[in-house]
Amino acid sequence: MSPLVDHLRSHGDRPAVLTADQPLNYRELAEMVESFAHTLGRRRRLVLLETRNDVATVVRHLGALAGRHVVLPVPAGRDHTNLITTYRPDVVIDAAGVHVRSEAAHELHDDLALLMSTSGSTGSPKLVRLSRTNLTANAGSIAEYLQIRETDRAATTLPMSYCYGLSVVHSHLLVGAALIMTEQSVADDDFWELFTRHRGTTFAGVPYTFELLDRIGFASMRLPHLRYVTQAGGRMPPERVREYAALADRWGWQLFVMYGATEATARMAYLPPDLALTRSNAIGRPVPGGSFSLEPLDEWPEVGTGELVYRGANVMMGYADEPADLARGATLDALRTGDIARRDEHGLYEIIGRRSRFVKMYGLRIDLQQLENTLSEAGVRALCTDNGDRLAVVAGAGHDPDDVRRTAAGAAGVPAGAVDVACVHELPTLPSGKPDYPTARVLAAGAPRRTQHDGDLRRMFADVLHLNPAEITEDASFVDLGGNSLTYVTLSVRLERALGRLPADWPRLPLRELQNLPAPSRRWWQFWGSTLETSVALRAVAIVLIVGSHAELFELWGGAHILLGVAGYNFGRFCLTPLPRPVRIRHLRTTIAWIAIPSALWVAFALVVTDDYHASNLLLANKFLGPHDSMTAGRLWFVEVLVWTLIALAVLFCIPAVDRLERRHPFALAIGFLAFGMALRYGVVGVDEGRDAWFSMLAFWFFAAGWAASKASTVWQRAAVTAVLVVGLHGYFDDTLRQLLVLTGLALLIWLPAVRCPAGIAVVAGVVAEASLYIYLTHYQVYPLFGSHELVGVVAAVVVGITVSAAVTLARQWWGDRSSAGRMRRGLPLGDEPLLDQGGGEDAVGPDQARGHDAAAPRRGR
């Protein structure tokens, strides 16, 4: 029996791996690992393993190690042709399964256990050879200085193909702690729901991870079980280290800043948490079992500085460039890091320079020489260096900078927005004829930083959100900028035309990532096919059904209740975002203004020219204030339901405890409100259904159902919401067709996020959905003008609403430009302008109702 399997089994029934739906204890994990080890056979093999952060990858990785095979982990979804061609692995494990050669083809050294890539995704076949001693020593060292306990639960925020991510797995399994396996990003709500549900105590991050944490309002999150956070994978700016050290001190967890390399099986140094505030520029002290020395260099004559050299049991056996190297033993006992460092009087080390051609970005170690070779093979002669957290590329004349940028970014595995490119007539050289990299860095930094869609997308965001382009940074997303469901419709249609099919989570992607999406390939189907989000399609169809039914062109009731569900759905998406609570409340407040102010202004106009409304409609309070016998005052019931629902929720979410509860358990809280709505619907709480003032409460459950749908992330959650809809709609209306129409619309919202349709239909639907509020507000006064010409009246009402919507958009844009100009004249920075009237939430669209007030009221099941 394998010592690794014995070790796993020794922890018994303790939790080992926790996922959204597949928890494993150590005994179960040991059995699965042992079974997979038998699958690979007794003869040692080289195993190329495509990794994902899931149970299958953990079992396969540990099973290969338990069987004393040599594992080569690689990221899933990448092209591994170069590695496979060079090393000819005996076993390839990918999404299609386990592929085993009939005979083992390699001679493998007895101590060899793991091969790791050294250069990100530049395709270099150079690998780090790691022994079992390396793995055990490093895992034990990390567990010691982090003081990992059996009760710890670490989330897998980094890929297992990356030495940092793999070290999290090894160090926690070594002491019997648990892993929370997930491929979700820290920017996703689902990640934090899983983390809090499983009482996560730690997670690891590279510098970019902390940028994402800034964007989602991590500083305001309540994570009661969090013990410590680790950072490595490149230098994080000292000011950010101090920021997170202060945050850790405030909330009672610890920040460990660490320094390492694949060649040291991950870790060489750590900065004790109590020094992070005062020595944020230092890498700290050697890990237990390791030591540093400084070797003087002629090019760095400063006293007390030198190349940082590390010694310890975790130093690699050596490199591999070809299969024959896999039979070699250890070739070194010290690691020359290539970093220039100095040591202070307290024994802390600080990196002050670099002498090699490797850089770390986005958690990847990038071989700049290999990157130059890759560009050369693509026909681009270039110099590659780094400029802080960016790649700097200077290419010869005649190349398109965007083409060079995309090629370099793809080869390095970083976003195209992180690559600066300059094309010059002659590559800079030193007097000796060697490449002049300092000059190349300056040339690239001075080149325009733009990608294929940069200017167009920034202007597009500015136009739709009524912002000055100068206010929009590359790190800002649609949600960050206060986008709501009204502006979402407009922007999604325009973005799809510019970029092709959009990612489902595009509202939360920073502008930088949207700019880096590949340009749409104009194949034949893309000229007629377009993706239309279901919520947009439902809004467009529902408002047409509402107008047509009111004008007696046909009778299809139920659109308003579908729209109430859509309102809840968009409330969950655009109001309950990961942004800090004050931003959430501001977005919600301005959302209410987007609905209430246009409605009140139109009512004021209608009061002057018609007898349709009463003064109580100005306050959107006819259901509260009456008169209750009017045939027209009840027309605005949908707006009243929506506005007062949002006001009540805004008050609730001002309470920090409610905000924290929603962040921890978003679906559970939404289901709780849906249960409350159902209690109102069935009169469980004793509401007097005969009083019009409670009509809003009776219809609230449609809104809550849409909210729950937006937070449903699994099949059983969506099925649960659907079941509540079926039960709640039974007997709600006297009209069976109306019940089926509402059920169909909301079921599509739950189960089908988008549909494919001709591009022309998508554009028309987007325009109608965008104008739905104004179509609703004006149609009561428009279609009666056409008498018995019902079709003409319906078309006219839609056209008038679209025209009013366009006029309001132009007016807002004019006002925004005027405000920005005024601020510039007063010498105020545009960035100080608050994002007013850019709230995230649901704009109103009109209700469907039968003639007069009574037909709009729901019917209770008997």
The tens digit of pLDDT for each residue in 436-445 reads 777 888 888 8
SS3 (DSSP) at 195: helix
The contacts of residue 659 (CB under 8 Å, 6+ apart) are 581, 584, 653
Q: 75-79, 321-325, 576-580, 792-796 — which is least confidently predicted?
A: 576-580
Q: What is the mean pLDDT of residues 322-330?
A: 94
Give me 202's structure tokens: 């730690």
Using alpha carbons only, how large is the chain's radius of gyration in Å? Answer: 31
Question: Residue 15: exposed, middle, or buried by beta-carbon count in 10 A (0-12, 13-18, 19+)?
Answer: buried
Q: How far is CA 780 from the centre of its chain?
A: 42
Q: Give residue 154's identity as a one-letter amino acid code.
A: A
* Mode of pairing for the β-strands spanning 285-286 and 269-271: antiparallel
Query: How much is the pLDDT for 524?
Result: 34
* Mode of pairing for the β-strands spanning 70-75 and 24-25: unpaired
Query: How much is the pLDDT for 526?
Result: 39
The contacts of residue 655 (CB under 8 Å, 6+ apart) are none
Query: How much is the pLDDT for 431?
Result: 57
pLDDT class of 673 with cuts at 50, 70, 90: very high
Give me 52's structure tokens: 């994902």
pLDDT in tens, 700-723: 899 999 999 999 878 899 999 999
The label of the residue with tokens 């338990």 reads 66
Q: Give residue 471's identity as a one-letter amino acid code.
A: E
Mean pLDDT, the chain, as a whole number? 83
SS3 (DSSP) at 114: strand
771: closest CA among 703, 848, 846? 846
pLDDT class of 449 with cuts at 50, 70, 90: low
SS3 (DSSP) at 382: strand
Query: How much is the pLDDT for 519?
Result: 46
Q: 286-290, 387-391, 566-570 — which is least confidently predicted?
A: 387-391
Query: How much is the pLDDT for 1?
Result: 60
Give me 847's structure tokens: 């209700």
pLDDT class of 829 with cuts at 50, 70, 90: very low
The whole-angstrom separation of Cα 584 and Cα 817 is 25
Q: Higher model confidence: residue 725 or residue 211?
A: 725
pLDDT class of 760 with cuts at 50, 70, 90: confident
Report the phi/psi class of residue 568: left, alpha or beta, with left for phi > 0 and alpha for psi in -120 to 50: alpha
pLDDT in tens, 299-309: 566 778 889 99
Query: How much is the pLDDT for 554?
Result: 92
Report the phi/psi class of residue 233: left, alpha or beta, with left for phi > 0 and alpha for psi in -120 to 50: left
The whole-angstrom separation of Cα 708 and Cα 228 is 32
| DSSP state letters, 535-591 | HHHHHHHHHHHHHHHHTTS-----HHHHHHHHHHHHHHHHTS-SS-HHHHHHHHHHH
pLDDT in tens, 364-418: 778 787 788 889 888 898 999 887 778 899 998 888 888 898 889 888 877 777 7
Vertex 519 angle, CA 517 and 522, to 5° = 145
Predicted TM-score of the model (pTM): 0.51
Residue 149 φ then ψ, to 5°: -110, 165
pLDDT in tens, 681-704: 887 765 554 445 455 567 889 999
8 Å CB contact between 603 and 611: no
Query: How much is the pLDDT for 843?
Result: 31
Q: What is the mean pLDDT of residues 213-230?
A: 91
The whole-angstrom separation of Cα 116 and Cα 624 is 69
Q: What is the mean pLDDT of residues 811-835?
A: 47
Half-sphere exposure in the Cβ direction for 310 (13 Å, CA): 29
8 Å CB contact between 501 and 514: no
The whole-angstrom separation of Cα 679 and Cα 349 is 63
Highest mean pLDDT among 245-254, 293-302, 566-575, 808-817: 245-254
Q: 21-30, 447-456, 498-507 — which is least confidently predicted?
A: 447-456
pLDDT class of 483 with cuts at 50, 70, 90: confident
8 Å CB contact between 380 and 394: no
Query: How much is the pLDDT for 243?
Result: 92
pLDDT class of 257 with cuts at 50, 70, 90: very high
| pLDDT at 533 > cutoff 90 | no
414: closest CA among 447, 457, 379, 384? 384
List the domains of the chain with CATH numbers: 3-327+334-354 (3.40.50.12780), 363-446 (3.30.300.30), 535-755+829-856 (no CATH)
pLDDT class of 272 with cuts at 50, 70, 90: very high
Query: How much is the pLDDT for 96?
Result: 84
| pLDDT at 201 > cutoff 90 | yes
Q: Give residue 12's identity as a one-letter amino acid code.
A: G
Give me 492's structure tokens: 């999604």
pLDDT class of 859 with cuts at 50, 70, 90: very low
Q: Give residue 520's identity as a one-letter amino acid code.
A: P
Within 10 A of 810 (CB to CB), how many other CB atoms are there?
10
pLDDT class of 614 with cuts at 50, 70, 90: confident
8 Å CB contact between 816 and 834: no
8 Å CB contact between 269 and 308: no
Q: What is the mean pLDDT of residues 350-362?
A: 75
| pLDDT at 294 > cutoff 50 | yes
